[in-house]
Amino acid sequence: MATYSAYVAIQKGNPSQAIEFKTDLQLPKQVPKDNVLVKVQATALNPVGYKLLRSLPNFMARRPHVMEQDVAGIIVDPNGSEFSVGDKVFGASPSPKFGTLAQYAVLPSSCLAPKPTNVSAVEAAGLATVVATAYQALVTNLHIESGQTVFINGGSSGVGLSAVQIAKFMGCKVVATASGKNKELLLSLGVDEFIDYTEAPLVTRLISNPPSPKFHAIFDAAGITDPALYLNSASYLAPGGAYLTAGTLPKDLNELGGMLRQVFEGMLRPTWLGGVSRKYGMVVVKLGKKDIETVGDLVSKGAVKPIVDSVYSFDRDNVMKAYEKLMTKHAAGKVVVKVMDEE
């Protein structure tokens, strides 16, 4: 029977100890109902992969499982779905049960859509999670509108680069942060005002030099774990405006409780007791058929261009280098593993 290779999470820990490169996995004789078999061309890494690897015990993470969720590939077995053999697709697995850092992946057909023809497989591999997250944050949750000013913290993250492009496409004024090395990249995407967060403490800077008018919405696309940007937001976020974060998972899970307590106290207390009087929320990305198709549509019409930080080959040394790059938290765009050459 045909075998294939994949990177399998086997235990809790850092990727170098916790992920095994298995070369003898068996292709299924029969692909389960509602699933398809995909030959993977490229996979992009997301922080959630290594964060869960480092924080969750085996029974909660349901290990062993193949790592990662984003994918671009070719349909091998459409299994009665709307796809045909040879279709080029992209998408993101909805569950760790269906990992994509592998030569083949069995995936629900509902998490895939045709790959936009204006991007390569390497570019398409990194689109689904970050573009869907940014779209759902800005459009579904924050309801941004043309003419509003949107503040995007972490404009050079995978999510942030998508958010910047979506907000500009929707006619918003965008103020975005990153370190100075990413200034030109963000200005090239149409950012109206760039803030180098390394030059001075961000919150102090926003309080002492507040925007006029105040921001209509704040999206933290870096997933910073310090709640100060929210707790002080009345100084720079308009009344009725909302603060949304992409993630609040600290390296040490023990810190999570204290952080959330501060946020909830800020949300629930009246202002005379130190409350914030601004809405707070966290986006949790949905990766269903419509969500992936929306991403494909945004990319096909040129509203969002894929931005790839770096590409690594599928051998173990390079895959570990890819994780190291992602874990620096300073990639500007997607970290992609190319599994096979384009066809």
Ligand X SMILES: NC(=O)c1ccc[n+]([C@@H]2O[C@H](COP(=O)([O-])OP(=O)(O)OC[C@H]3O[C@@H](n4cnc5c(N)ncnc54)[C@H](OP(=O)(O)O)[C@@H]3O)[C@@H](O)[C@H]2O)c1
For ligand X, the binding residue among 5, 103, 182, 233 (CB under 6 A) is 182
First to last CA, the chain: 24
By CB under 6 A, tell whether 129 contacts ligand X: yes
Helix (H, G, I), strand (E, B) or coil at 262: helix
By CB under 6 A, tell whether 49 contacts ligand X: no
By CB under 6 A, tell whether 43 contacts ligand X: no
Neighbours of 246 (CB within 10 A): 26
Helices (H), 70-208: 121-125, 127-135, 158-169, 183-188, 202-208
User: Smallest gap, in angstroms, from Cβ of residue 330 to ligand X?
Assistant: 3
What is d(CA 12, CA 328) in angstroms, rounded to the nearest whole number? 19
Q: Which is nearer to ligand X, 316 or 329 (CB)?
A: 329
For ligand X, the binding residue among 41, 103, 141, 156 (CB under 6 A) is 156
By CB under 6 A, tell whether 222 contacts ligand X: yes
Dihedral angle sign, alpha carbons of residues 86, 92, 98, 101: positive
Q: Furthest-apart CA pair in the chain: how many Å?
A: 70
By CB under 6 A, tell whether 283 contacts ligand X: yes
Instruction: Give the interface segment with ligand X, choosing from 69-77, 187-195, 291-299, 323-331 (CB under 6 A).
Output: 323-331
User: Smallest gap, in angstroms, from Cβ of residue 115 to ligand X?
Assistant: 20
By CB under 6 A, tell whether 306 contacts ligand X: no
# residues contacting ligand X (CB under 6 A): 31
Please identify which residue in the block is written with the tokens 């909302």.
Answer: 242
What is d(CA 311, CA 246) in angstroms, rounded to the nearest whole number? 24
By CB under 6 A, tell whether 159 contacts ligand X: yes
Q: Which is nearer to ligand X, 37 or 322 (CB)?
A: 322
* Orientation angle between helical segments 127-135 and 158-169, nearest 10 degrees: 50
Q: Which is nearer to ligand X, 5 or 153 (CB)?
A: 153
For ligand X, the binding residue among 110, 133, 148, 294 (CB under 6 A) is 133
In degrees, rounded to 5, the angle at the alpha carbon of residue 207 between the alpha carbons of residues 201 and 209 is: 95
User: Which CA distances in Å does 325 have to 47, 60, 125?
Assistant: 11, 26, 17
For ligand X, the binding residue among 149, 153, 233, 294 (CB under 6 A) is 153
By CB under 6 A, tell whether 158 contacts ligand X: yes
Site track 229-268 with ligand X (rule: CB under 6 A), x = hit: -----------------xx---------------------
Q: What are phi and psi of 261, to 5 degrees?
A: -60, -45
Site track 189-218 with ligand X (rule: CB under 6 A), x = hit: --------x---------------------
Q: Exposed, middle or buried, 276 (CB in 10 Å: 0-12/13-18/19+)?
A: buried
Site residues, ligand X (CB under 6 A): 46-48, 129-130, 133, 153-154, 156-159, 177-179, 182, 197, 221-224, 246-247, 283-285, 326, 329-332
